[in-house]
Structure 1
Amino acid sequence: GPPGGDGEAQLEELQRSLKAKRALCEQLHEEIAAVRAERDGAKSACLAGVNAAKAQMARMAAELRALNARARTVDVSALGPTAEAEEEEGEEQQEAARPRPPSEEERSRLEALRLEARLMRHELSKWRHQAESLESERVGQEREIAYLKAQLAHARDVLESTRHAVRHHEVERKLREVSLLPLPTEASGSPDSRLDLRLWQGSDLR
């Protein structure tokens, strides 16, 4: 594939991952809001018809069960609510009506997601920069390859011309050597004469 294909594929993968992380963050926000609503609803239900002590103990199911057990042994309905109890109950209802700040665990999870999102944005920016660098390098490499191909073709032409010139000069040299030899005679049967005849007939020329 093209030199920049891997970088583009990784870039697309990081973009999909970042989108998924953003969706996960939004989902976490919705879950936190749902937990808050459920908690506030449960707290409001517990506060209906009970005093401030029951509202505090209702935060934990075990304490709420203990409070209900104690309430069964005491006829609280026979006791008129005091002004102090009414005031405390009013304050508790106002407290329940106000949205509570996120818990430490919620803040930690949100901060972790924000940090991860920042890291993903940084990673995405890094891969975008790397993809641009790869594309720039690819263009430069293609230009260099085209230049080298032209140089190679020129070098091959020069080499072929040189080989042709060498063969031409070799032929001329052998022809000059042959022209300096005496003409062979039919009666001559010596080895030297047969060699001269082969040279004269061009049997050694390539």
Structure 2
Amino acid sequence: MKLSTMVCALCMTATLLGSVSAQAAEGKKWTTVRIGTEGAFRPFNFTKPDGTFDGFEIDLYKVLCKSMQVTCEIVVQPFTGMIPALQAGKFDAIMSGMSATDKRRQVIDFSVPYSNSGQTFATLKNSPLAKLPDTGMRFSLTKDEAGAIKELDKIKPALQDKVIGVQTASIAATFLNKYLQGVVKVREYKTTEEHDLDLAAGRVDLVIVVVN
């Protein structure tokens, strides 16, 4: 699909169905679009030392907004409150590495995907957990849940009582609560940057991160 046919849908990722319908009925002319992002989720979006934003989604929104000939404004919002802030009208769209889950679809609408990323356990190089079975292999919970669960069973003994850091309200947190409850201890953080720091400091054994 050519970029020109994707522009409107992508930029309006995660806009509310009701809101979009109402604005379309009123014939609203979009001149400014406010985009909510976390600014702390590499490589999708992050804040540089000088306070400016960078990342894949930052580059993407600039291209899309230029193509639509609208002015776009970034609004920084913690991920845990991203959807409530959208519903409250703090911004018009979300671009913040948000996966389109069934639960989220109950309250917001999603564009066509602009990224397809997996997630993986990450630990320190000198950790015994760096050599878990099937390291480097990919498994899909959507296409082959039974097969993925079988692989998880292989590593459960090694993960028993280990502390895993995840971002609050993320699909990683949902994954741990569903598939590893009672096996691992989950420690939630507001940002992925915070759990990375605790991993480096030895306060958690593993974290779950995005991998392309």
The TM-score with structure 1 as length reference comes to 0.17
The higher-RCO structure (CA 8 Å, 6+ apart) is 1
Larger Rg: 1
The TM-score with structure 2 as length reference comes to 0.17
Q: Write 1 or 2 for the structure with the bigger share of helix.
A: 1
